[in-house]
């Protein structure tokens, strides 16, 4: 029998990276610091202490190229890591492309996405610091599920504000958080001042990540035994996610391949940065030269149409000012099905890397993403999360371009999670109940006009 094509590139548990990679010391210029909204001065560790434990604050500002992963965290990572790298033979055949397509699949984790890569260390450091409860926001529910799981492992309480639109669309997500022991509120909620203020204006408000962040931050800041956990955007979150890229480098080395193009979806940017940063390190060192492309929804185009400016991370203006690609903290994206990509801003570190010209950005409409995801499911057997489907759409565009030119490019897609709890989104697409919003620039003129005056 002829040798069959391999589908998976697996690593051993002993191959899980033992340190996280911090891209900052390798950049030509450091990213602009977060600023205090009152003084306009860079925020110090003491400003963050009400929200985060010391170890995470140190990771947020570290200048070290590598940070050791605690053994207790590695031990939990081992429940699902290393995550598989797949060769998409089925999709290649369906497309008739000469390209070789690979995808790094984070859907094997307890929450079904890349989010536990950071929820586990975050819960660990908080538990070690004596924190009793973590609060957080969640968009699609992936992050809330991941933090609920991590809290169940380390014995912490977990209180989650879920964006109203997805709370309503995807009830299974809330149920999964409850299985892991969390309590979940629909955001905006009556539990917080920020939530009440917004409900007073509009009782059926669909919510947004920015609003949910305001609520979770408000509760954590008012409870000395509680802290807040963020699932994306911040440096320490991107740091934790670099296990994705480090593993993928090992996997490519194992099969002797080098990617020509990397694509991944971006909401806050953590999954994309987690895959891309270790590859960018290799590129900076001259060891490879992949094109690195972030893919966002056309209805929330912070990288392709936003402004690179200081803005609040949340809607109510409770966070420090972050220099990032933003549509304005008052921008409320339409309730598209990729709830995890409905964020007005973009991770400051990833925004900086984009500003340095190290990555490209592309916006795709959601109907194209569903077409891609259904083709992928029928060829590869995996139903992707609507967020991850943005990477698939970009991957298929690239593979079809190769079909035109005959180029045998090596494409690497970040498949951030499965869509098992997102079936109603597929249902909506299959029954013709979704369309692509035409987003014109005037949609965020107002929110961009309200950027803070302090601009570094």
Among 17, 112, 290, 335, which residue interacts with a second copy (rule: CB under 8 A)? Answer: 112
From residue 69 to residue 88, the character string flagging contacts with a second copy as x (rule: CB under 8 A) and all else as - is --x--xx--xxx--------
Q: Judged by CB, which is closer to a second copy: 90, or 333?
A: 90
If you ran DSSP here, which 8-state letter would residue 50 be given? T
Q: Return the residues of window 355-394 that contact a second copy according to CB under 8 A.
A: 374, 377-383
Q: Say whether residue 172 binds a second copy (CB under 8 A).
A: yes
What's the distance, CA 209 to chain centroid?
12
- Residue 176 as a binder of a second copy (CB under 8 A): the answer is yes
Nearest distance from C-beta of residue 21 to a second copy, angstroms: 19
82 preceded by a cis bond (ω within 30 of 0): yes
Choose between 229 and 321: whose C-beta lies nearer to a second copy.
229
The site map against a second copy for 142-161 (x = CB under 8 A) is: -------x--xx--------
Q: How far apart are CA 219 and CA 159, in angstroms?
A: 9
Torsion of CA 421, 176, 235, 300, to 10 degrees: 40
Residue 255 interacting with a second copy (CB under 8 A) = no
- Residues 4 and 8: their CA atoms lie apart, in Å, by 12
Three-state SS at 427: helix
From the list 413, 421, 448, 451, which residue makes contact with a second copy (rule: CB under 8 A)? 421
Site residue total, a second copy (CB under 8 A):
49
**With binding defined as CB under 8 A, does residue 93 bind a second copy?**
no
Structure tokens at 75: 């031990």
Q: Is 137 exposed, middle or buried (0-12, 13-18, 19+ CB in 10 A)?
A: buried
CA pair distance 435, 417, nearest whole angstrom: 23
Contact 384, 415 (CB under 8 A): yes
Is the Cβ of residue 91 or residue 448 nearer to a second copy in the bound state?
Answer: 91
Contact 76, 153 (CB under 8 A): yes
Tell me which residues touch a second copy (CB under 8 A). Answer: 1-2, 4-8, 10, 12-13, 71, 74-75, 78-80, 90, 108-110, 112, 116, 149, 152-153, 171-172, 175-176, 178-181, 374, 377-383, 418, 420-421, 423-424, 426-427, 430
């Amino acid at each position: 029998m002829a040798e069959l094509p391999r589908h998976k590139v697996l690593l051993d548990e002993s191959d899980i990276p033992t340190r996280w990679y911090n891209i900052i010391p390798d950049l030509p210029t450091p990213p602009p610091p977060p600023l205090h909204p009152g003084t306009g001065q860079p925020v110090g560790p003491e400003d963050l202490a009400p929200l985060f434990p010391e170890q995470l604050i140190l990771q947020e500002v570290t200048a070290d190229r590598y940070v050791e992963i605690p053994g207790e965290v590695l031990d939990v990572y081992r429940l699902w890591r290393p995550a598989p790298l797949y060769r998409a033979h089925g999709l290649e055949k369906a497309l008739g492309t000469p390209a070789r397509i690979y995808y790094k699949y984070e859907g094997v984790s307890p929450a079904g996405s890349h989010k536990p890569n950071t929820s586990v260390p975050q819960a660990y450091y908080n538990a070690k610091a004596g924190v009793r409860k973590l609060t957080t926001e969640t968009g699609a529910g992936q992050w809330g599920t991941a933090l609920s799981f991590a809290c169940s492992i380390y014995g912490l309480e977990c209180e989650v504000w879920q964006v109203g639109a997805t709370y309503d669309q995807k009830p299974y997500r809330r149920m999964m958080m409850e299985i892991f022991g969390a309590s979940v509120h629909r955001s905006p909620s009556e539990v917080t001042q920020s939530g009440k203020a917004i409900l007073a204006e509009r009782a059926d408000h669909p919510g947004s990540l920015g609003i949910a962040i305001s609520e979770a931050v408000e509760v954590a800041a008012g409870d000395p035994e509680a802290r807040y956990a963020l699932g994306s955007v911040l440096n320490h979150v991107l740091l934790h996610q670099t296990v994705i890229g480090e593993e993928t480098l090992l996997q490519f080395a194992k099969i002797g391949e080098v990617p020509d193009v990397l694509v991944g979806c971006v909401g806050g940017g953590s999954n994309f940065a987690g895959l891309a940063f270790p590859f960018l390190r290799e590129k900076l060192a001259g060891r490879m030269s992949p094109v690195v492309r972030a893919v966002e929804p056309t209805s929330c185009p912070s990288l392709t149409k936003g402004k690179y400016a200081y803005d609040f991370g949340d809607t109510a203006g409770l966070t420090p000012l972050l220099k990032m690609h933003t549509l304005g903290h008052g921008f409320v994206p339409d309730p598209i099905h990729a709830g995890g990509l409905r964020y007005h801003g973009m991770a400051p570190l990833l925004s900086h890397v984009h500003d340095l010209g190290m990555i490209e950005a592309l916006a795709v409409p959601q109907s194209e993403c569903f077409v891609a995801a259904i083709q992928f499911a029928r060829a590869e057997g995996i139903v992707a999360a609507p967020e991850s489907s943005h990477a698939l759409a970009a991957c298929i565009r690239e593979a079809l371009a190769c079909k035109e030119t005959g180029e045998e490019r090596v494409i690497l897609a970040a498949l951030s999670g499965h869509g098992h709890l997102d079936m109603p989104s597929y249902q909506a697409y299959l029954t013709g109940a979704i369309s692509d919003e035409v987003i014109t620039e005037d949609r965020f003129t107002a929110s961009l006009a309200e950027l803070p005056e302090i601009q570094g």
